[in-house]
Amino acid sequence: MAKSQSAALDRKKLMADPVMVGTIAVLIAFLTLFILYPLAILLVDSFYGGTGFTLDTFRRIMAMPTFTKAIGNTLKVGFLVGVLSTIVGLLFAYVEVYVKMGRAVGGLFKVVSMLPVVSPPFVLSLSMIMLFGKAGLITRFLLGIYDNSVYGFWGIVIVQTLTFFPVCYMMLKGLLKNIDPSLEEAARDMGASRWTVFATVTFPLLLPGLGNAFLVTFIESIADFANPMIIGGSYDTLATTIYLQITGAYDKEGAAAMAVVLLSITLLMFAVQKYYLEAKTAATLTGKASRGRMLIDDRSVTVPLTILCGLAAFFVIMMYACVPIGALFPTWGYKFTPLTFKWFGQVFTRYHGLQAFRDSFVLSLIASPITALLSMIISYLVVKRKFRSKGFIEAVSMLAMAVPGTVLGVGYIRGYSGGLFHSANWPIFAEGGALHSLFPNGLLGGIYGSAAILIIVFVVRSLPTGTRSGISALR
Amino acid sequence: MSKVKKGVRLDHISKIYQDPKTGKDFYAVKDTSLTIEPGSFVTLLGPSGCGKTTTLRMIAGFESPDEGEIYLGDEAINALTPNKRDTAMVFQSYALLPHYNVFDNVAYGLKLRKVPANEIKERVMKILDLVELTGMEGRMTNQLSGGQQQRVALARALVIEPSVLLFDEPLSNLDAKLRVSMRTEIRRIQQEVGITAIYVTHDQSEAMALSDNIIIMNKGVVAQMGSPQDIYYHPNSEFVADFIGEANFLQGTLERMDGSHAVLNVEGSSTRVPAKQGMTAGSSYTVVLRPESAVLRDEGGLPCQVTLSCFMGSYQNYHVKVGGTLVKLTDYNPKNKRIYQVGETCSLVFDPESVHIL
């Protein structure tokens, strides 16, 4: 066939470029070692009981009430957070795309809906406790409630919704902008009220996109570790249970099996989202806007929507403002005056504070250019070149998006603490083995507990974001 | 249709927009008044940015006029939202709802009006028959060709029996051949239903083929309104003459009046043309000469020299110089006629009744 000739020629051209071949080889090695291998080792650990295939580990963890409860908790939180984030995201996206409002108000809403994206993960949990906890500024000092508990289900739901709704907002904003305004005008022209237009045109067209946004936040919520850890109290989710299983009970096999369960849930949702809903969204919303949208300036619409968004915005701003302001109080919840900078001094002088700052900073400084470079190379290869392992590279770098941080963490512990494939136990590397002096911790075991593995984790975790934006920029 | 036909009246309508680049306000439509007779087919014609679409969208209610009042029949409709107006629009992008099939798209407006299901079915099928789409009612809209989609859009607008049908460049997404057959179709349906129609286009042949009356707009104001013949033969400005068909402009000075005719000096030759009111001797006037209303002869008219001679099949295309003025001519059915070649000197001859003084 003529086609085989062009394939052969493509291969020949690629092989004539040693830099390219080398880059691809390094990429495949990196992705295999640091994404596929840690996940694979989890599967091996949880199904291999020393002698052969076994389901014992799964039977054991399924018998733990803490674990089965955590599954239920996680799904409950994830579902509610998914629904609420989608609603709040839709509200902000709709107001931005459809409603006429002053530049200042519109700008404020835009900032508020982007703020959580750039903030560190647990800032909102912290604010939540500071504002609404037992000694919360609002609960105790404003309302005089002394026994309010923010720890648990509602704490997690509120904080995660505020953290993740910007993702929905951005996805839905893009979709709403793609709806041809003349569709809605036509419906209106046929006699539909604004509400009917929304119910019969905008909403059905947006439905796959809403499902998409829901699943993405569902995954994010399930994968989240920091917020449930801080504000969950005794309400355990899968991510925190796995962490406690490994740090508290020191049950590595059990934790690995739990991680496999968590990973299966997120992967399933990721698959539905990626291959079913995304295709459907693209199918219904291919239209290009033929002319600008007439913004709604009807007060019966703008006033309630502005109030709703305003309330949400006020809440978000309050949450963020309380952190820098709270840092100035002598003792939060007890003594509010005079304002002091003493905590800032302490943070840098005590408990290795300065070192923690420096380490975080240096690690990020090393990890970000590596991530940028890798994402750039991957995007370039995926968009512009044709070669056989392209599908593998694209799929694995996107896979990292569906892998919760806790799962990856457990995978790294299992995968590298005893060297590659537990190689520290192999006779050749073990005490007295021929290569023990060269590799005391087995193959690659040396990176465990070092800065190197942290940097690798950082890179792997942010690779999907970088690759996704790189690909869409190049296409 | 049993309904009383209604016309549309615009009374000193203005619409002000802000230029997105400079931030300055400008008139998209300025102090425009016009009357559209009940049951007539009227076209708003003009170059892009002339205000024609804005005018149409103000009638539909998508834009609000900054000044003036719009009347549908005798009713002032400025304050009515689009869904309360007795108008229906056919959009350039068809604007069919992609999640509905053909039947549901057409039935959309009737369902909103709470028409009983069996009556909906009957009316939708009748309209689909009118636009020749019987049997297509179960199709999704993306399974239809562009022409079929536009028929569905037309059916959807017709089925709610509006007083006025509005068209916003409905054919500009179709290919040339389909455009021609669709416009005959639109005219046929409008005549059959007897509905008032307002049609926006920048295509003059579409305007000619469809309209009882053409309204030519330029820079937000009405340049001229009249029947196609009126506008073609008696344009009131160089803009209108040039926009509708092709036009040559000859400058001439009035020598004397001769009854209902004027004798002008055009490039040194005396030329008799129909006079217009209030002409004064010695003043300069512009004569509009259509390319098909003059021919080349060996003598007997304005002396000229051929600068282009080109066979186009149905006609011979000439460019000639009359003094310093370039004149374009189309000589139809050139077979067996004397063909003038480039560089020849000859004479430009026309019937005085076929020209028009601006």
**Sequential DSSP letters for B234-263:** S-SSHHHHHHSS--EEEEEEEEEEETTEEE
Q: What is the pLDDT of residues B148-159, one digit of tens each?
A: 999 899 899 989
Q: How far apart are CA A206 and CA A192, in angstroms?
A: 18
What pLDDT is recorded for position B42? 94
User: Which of the residues in chain A have pLDDT under 70?
Assistant: 1-3, 49-50, 141, 146, 282-291, 333-334, 438
Output the six-digit token pair for A64: 């733990």
One-character DSSP codes across A259-307: HHHHHHHHHHHHHIIIIIIHHHHHHH--PPPSSPPPPB--HHHHHHHHH
Which H or E element spans position B303?
strand B302-311
pLDDT at A272: 85
Select the residue of B83, B91, B96 nearest A191 (Cβ to Cβ). Answer: B83
- The DSSP line for A309-333 is HHHHHHHHHHHHHHHHHHTTSSBTT
- Please give the Cα distance from A383 to A381 (Å, whole number): 6
Q: Where are the alpha helices (DSSP H) in B138-202?
A: 146-159, 176-193
Task: Note the pLDDT of residue A1.
Answer: 53
d(CA B121, CA B124): 5
Q: Does A190 touch chain B (CB under 8 A)?
A: yes
Is B124 a residue whose pLDDT tops 90?
yes
Return residues 292-311 of A near B (CB < 8 Å): 294
Pairing of strands B325-332, B315-322: antiparallel
Of the candidates A196, A205, A294, the beta carbon closest to that of B62 is on A294
Mean pLDDT of chain B: 88
Tokens 């033929």 correspond to what residue?
A290
Contact A131, A183 (CB under 8 A): no
Q: Is B6 on the interface with A (CB under 8 A)?
A: no
Tell whether the model's pLDDT for residue B246 goes beyond 70: yes
Can you list the alpha helix ranges (DSSP code H) found in A16-64?
18-31, 37-47, 56-62
Q: Evaluate whether A217 touches A164 at the Cβ level (below 8 Å).
A: yes
Residue B33: its H or E element: strand B25-36
B332: pLDDT strictly greater than 80? yes
pLDDT classification of B167: cutoffs 50, 70, 90: very high
Bridge partners of B27, per DSSP, are B16
> Rounded to a whole number, what is the distance in Å from the CA of B93 to chain A's nearest CA?
7
Enumerate the H helices of A179-247 as residue ranges.
Answer: 181-189, 194-197, 203-223, 226-231, 238-247
**pLDDT given for residue A12 in this prediction:** 81
Look up the pTM and report it: 0.82
Find residue B303's DSSP bridge partners: B347
Asked if A280 reaches chain B (Cβ–Cβ under 8 Å), the answer is no
Residue closest to B237 by CA, chosen among B356, B328, B330, B350: B356
Token readout for A262 is: 């968590």
Q: Does domain A55-336 have CATH number 1.10.3720.10?
A: yes
Q: Does A204 touch chain B (CB under 8 A)?
A: yes
Give B165's contacts in chain A (Cβ within 8 Å).
none
Report in angstroms the alpha-carbon separations of A93 from A50, A181, A199, A210, B216: 53, 15, 16, 12, 41
- Secondary structure element (H or E) that encloses residue B284, with its range: strand B284-289
User: Which of B82, B92, B98 has its CB closest to that of A189?
Assistant: B82
Contacts of A206 in chain B (CB under 8 A): none
Q: How far is B117 from chain A (nearest CA, A)?
A: 17
Interchain contact A192–B (C-beta under 8 A): yes
DSSP count for chain B of H helices, then E strands: 8, 20
How high is the pLDDT of residue A82? 95
Residue holding tokens 């009006």? B113
Identify whether the C-beta of residue A109 lies closer than 8 Å to the C-beta of residue A96: yes
Length of chain B: 358
Looking at the partner chain, which of B95, B99, B109 has a beta carbon nearest the beta carbon of A185?
A: B95
Using the beta-carbon criterion (under 8 Å), do A188 and B82 form an inter-chain contact? yes
- The structural domains of chain A, with segments of one domain joined by +, span 1-53+341-475, 55-336
**Average pLDDT estimate for B198-212:** 90
Beta strands B164-168 and B196-201, pairing class? parallel
The SS3 call for residue A377 is helix
Asked if A287 and B93 come within 8 Å (Cβ–Cβ), the reply is yes
Which among B62, B84, B98 has CB closest to A284? Answer: B98
Instruction: Indicate the pLDDT class of residue B1, thresholds 50, 70 and 90.
Output: very low
For residue A124, how many C-alpha atoms fall within 13 Å in the half-sphere facing its CB?
Answer: 24
**DSSP codes joined into one string, B38-71:** TT-EEEEE-STTSSHHHHHHHHHTSS--SEEEEE
Q: Which of B294, B235, B99 is nearest to A183 (CA)?
A: B99
Residue reference for tokens 């799929």? A395
Pairing mode, strands B356-357 and B284-289: antiparallel
Residue B222: closest CA among B72, B62, B31:
B31
CA distance B62 to chain A (A): 8
Q: What is the pLDDT of residues B70-87, one digit of tens each?
A: 999 888 898 888 888 989
Q: What is the mean pLDDT of residues B340-357?
A: 87
ipTM over 0.90: no
Whether residues A190 and B160 touch (CB distance < 8 A) is answered with: yes
Token pair, residue A381, equals: 């290869």
- Which residues, listed in sequence order, are joined to residue B266 by a DSSP beta bridge? B269
